[in-house]
Amino acid sequence: MCGIVGAIAKRNITPILIEGLRRLEYRGYDSAGVAVLVPGKGIQRTRAVGKVIELENALAKEPVQCHLGIAHTRWATHGKPAERNAHPHLSERLAIVHNGIIENHGPLRKRLTDLGYTFTSETDTEVVAHLLAHHYKEKPDLLCAFRSTLAELHGAYALGVIHQDEPDTLYCARMGSPLVIGEGSEERFVASDPLALLQVTDQFIYLEEGDHARLSLEGRDIWNRRNLPVEYPVLRYEHAALSLDKGEYRHYMLKEIHEQPSAIANTLEGTLAEDHVLTAVLGPDAETRLQDIQNIHIVACGTSYHAGLVARYWIEEQAGLPCQVEVASEYRYRQVAVPGNTLLITISQSGETADTLAALRHSKQQGYLASLAICNVAGSSLVREADWRLLTKAGPEIGVASTKAFTTQLTALLWFSTALAQTNNRAPEMISANVRALRTLPGLVEQALYLDGRIEQLAATFANKQHALFLGRGTHYPIAMEGALKLKEISYIHAEAYAAGELKHGPLALVDEDMPVVSIAPSDSLLEKLKSNLQEVRARGGQLINFACETAELDNGDGITHIHLPPASDSISPIVYSIPLQLLSYHVALVKGTDVDKPRNLAKSVTVE
Ligand code: AGP
């Protein structure tokens, strides 16, 4: 997804802009650009298709010292990846960068063309540049012109603006796309993600929807959508101490897979007592508020949606509450029937996923009791707009394929299910068993990571495969879905997951010796049922790869591979079984030579619809 970085400082800001773009590379992009105000010369723009390094090379040809500038990585939506479509876009003496989508760009483009403006790109962004230039021409006051421009835009935007006539000012605004201000000492920055600015500051101001701001060396002015001045606290970025480099690892994804024991331990820190969970983590009156909940709706996208699907089993079985789970892109456009006292849970790593955020906003008119955001980014829009929050403490996740975010979401959801069970006076043995299991979880995940070498050997068997099936039952069915998503995402092998009992209702027709079938076979109450399903696969010559506990006593034979996992109690088993599936997709991607951390066509944080 697109990324924005902007800076005003006494020092030369070009290296800061470039480093900021580099730190946003993980979000996915196809071109990059920078516009700086060169003293005595005006705005100088450089753009390049491809990686940030191409832009850097282009800039190196004519190095300049400058103190005000904006930069952008573009992920094409309107107009193909091409230099002419890359940001910043210029109009007269100004330059802008934009994340999001301007929905009324068509009529605006027509009006501006009629007014004599010439468009050089197919983007929706260029209309914003010309519209601002037009308003400035009518009344040469940049703040007023900026406000008149914002008032005409429909859709989503985060904007950064510089103008030759105000060489000491950087303007920015947000509506539907995230934007933070980074505070330095007599220098200020703006970015779509604080990660871009950790090179220069760990102090951030998170703009709210509809805000716009004017930044200078001396200070900042922020106004809300009614143009009234607002003040926000400057917050220290919590994960700033965490290393953002790959360290000893070849890829961020591998590093993040290996960080899971500590990410899970951090997520659980301060949440567990001897034999019960500490519900006060949810706020001072959590106990009373939890008592009111009679139904749960969970809404999320992608991997976070899979975490919600696992949680449904826990919440219904452990807490005895009805729970339904839906992808946010569907939920946001339908009229939901909301029974009384229903809690809406949104789950998101980034807290900026456009569909999930829109679903939360949509829910506000649907009569929910309250909303809870389970999220990895404390200052994100989702967290700020929800009534309650439960933070996962995975630390920054850079690899596009979600790994530690997923297992920490599951950890938080199991904790929350236990909290609901506790509030509803469900069996105390079950609650204390969950607490014990959660305590053992980081250690078990560590043991599962020892399977790395064994899985690496197995990966070669997928090298020439076009398709794969993943099977699971119960809580492990969504884990099979997540395993299939991981394989698709980074190795580009078509993979589908089925509840194993569904195999005979259609997908069995696909099974032959060219079809690897991955089964998740923990020793739980459904194991015997699963064994029958696996026999159906073997009888058709399908290659079986079983992730199972040693005690599972699965059939041996040609075409069957077993990978043994440590025994884990039922509640945490889906979390432990996620680990080898992540490793499998990682090693298959290595064999296939794909771009593991930045798979084609994908973005880390999907901030457009
Ligand atoms: C995970 O591997 C994916 N890249 C993707 O499905 C992701 O989980 C989804 O886009 C939701 O993101 P979020 O958790 O940041 O909301």
Residues 434 and 473 in one domain: no
Nearest CA to ligand 1 atom 16: 348
Confidence at 14, pLDDT banded by 50, 70, 90: very high
CA dist., res. 543 & res. 530, Å (int): 16
> Taking 80 as the threshold, does the pLDDT of residue 278 lie above it?
yes
Using CB atoms within 10 Å of the CB of residue 521, give its burial: 0 to 12 exposed, 13 to 18 middle, 19+ buried.
Answer: buried
Q: Is 607 in the pocket of ligand 1 (CB under 6 A)?
A: no
- Distances from the Cα of 469 to the Cαs of 159, 462, 501, 518, in angstroms? 44, 12, 13, 6
Paired tokens of 115: 């007014």
For position 162, which CATH number holds? 3.60.20.10
Q: What number is the average pLDDT over the span 539-564?
A: 83
Q: Enumerate long-range contacts of 227-233, CB under 8 Å, 24 or more apart.
A: 227/147, 232/205, 232/206, 232/207, 232/208, 233/205
Pocket lining: 307 vs ligand 1, CB cutoff 6 Å: no
Q: Per-residue pLDDT averaged across 142-166, rounded? A: 95
Domain that holds residue 73: 3-238
Give the CATH number, domain containing residue 286.
3.40.50.10490
User: What is the reported pLDDT for 178?
Assistant: 83
Number of folded domains in the chain?
3
Q: Is there a single domain that holds both residue 425 and residue 476? A: no
Residue at which a domain ends, from 448, 479, 514: 448
309 and 420, same structural domain? yes
**Strand, coil or helix: 565:** strand
Cβ of 596 less than 6 Å from ligand 1? no
In the three-class reduction of DSSP (H, G, I as helix; E, B as strand; rest coil), residue 300 is classed as strand
pLDDT at site 240: 53
Q: What are phi and psi of 46, to 5 degrees?
A: -135, 135
Asked if 291 and 421 sit in the same domain, the reply is yes
For residue 602, the ligand 1 atom closest to its alpha carbon is: 4
What pTM was estimated for this model as a whole? 0.73
Query: 301, 357, 410, 600: which to mutate for ligand 1, most atoms within 8 A of CB?
Result: 301
220 within a domain of the structure (yes/no): yes
Residues 96, 44, single domain; the answer is yes
Answer whether 350 contacts ligand 1 (Cβ < 6 A): yes
Contact 91, 60 (CB under 8 A): no
Helix (H) / strand (E) containing 4: strand 3-8
Please check whether residues 74 and 151 belong to one and the same domain: yes
Residues 386 and 282 in one domain: yes
Please identify, by atom number, the ligand 1 atom nearest to the C-alpha of residue 409.
Answer: 14
| Six-digit token string for 505 | 């209702």
Is there a catalytic annotation at residue 66? no
pLDDT mean across residues, the chain: 92
Instruction: Pick the residue whose CA is nearest to atom 8 on ligand 1.
Output: 303
* Cα 332 to the center of its chain, rounded Å: 18
Closest alpha carbon to 23 in 305, 214, 202, 245: 245
β-sheet with 295-300: strand ranges across: 323-327, 295-300, 342-348, 370-375, 388-391
Give residue 243's pLDDT band: very low, low, confident or very high (50, 70, 90).
low
Is residue 511 situated within a structural domain? yes
Candidate from 193, 303, 380 with most ligand 1 atoms within 8 A of CB, to mutate: 303
Instruction: Tell me the per-residue pLDDT of 216-227, one tens digit each, with 9 for 90 and over.
Output: 999 999 999 999
* Same domain assignment for residues 322 and 424: yes
With a cut of 70, say whether residue 314 has pLDDT above it.
yes
Same domain flag for 410 and 471: no
β-partners of residue 7 are 69, 189
Whether 51 and 135 map to the same domain: the answer is yes
Looking at ligand 1, which atom is closest to the CA of residue 302? 6
**Pair 30, 94 in one domain:** yes
Residue 451 three-state SS: coil
Alpha carbon distance 10, 549 (integer Å):
61
Known catalytic residue at 246: no
Residue 260 clears pLDDT 60, i.e. is over it:
yes
Residues 204 and 301 in one domain: no
Distance from the alpha carbon of residue 346 to the mean position of ligand 1, in angstroms: 13
> What is the per-residue pLDDT across 322-367, written as a single tens digit (0 to 9) for each?
999 999 999 999 999 999 999 999 999 999 999 999 999 999 999 9
Distance CA 420, CA 369 (A): 15
Q: How many CB atoms lie within 10 A of CB 119?
A: 16
- Write out the DSSP string of 330-396: HHTTS-----TTEEEEEEESSS--HHHHHHHHHHTTTT-SEEEEEES-TTSHHHHHSSEEEE-----
φ, ψ of residue 80 in degrees (nearest 5): -70, 165
pLDDT tens across 100-146, in order?
A: 888 899 999 999 999 999 999 999 999 999 999 999 999 999 999 99
- Point out the domain boundary residue: 186, 220, 238: 238
Distance 405 CA to ligand 1 centre (A): 9
- Min mean pLDDT across 99-113, 227-241, 322-336, 442-456 is at 227-241
How long, in residues, is the chain? 609
Is residue 403 in contact with ligand 1, taking CB distance under 6 Å? no
Per-residue pLDDT band at 526 (split at 50, 70, 90): confident
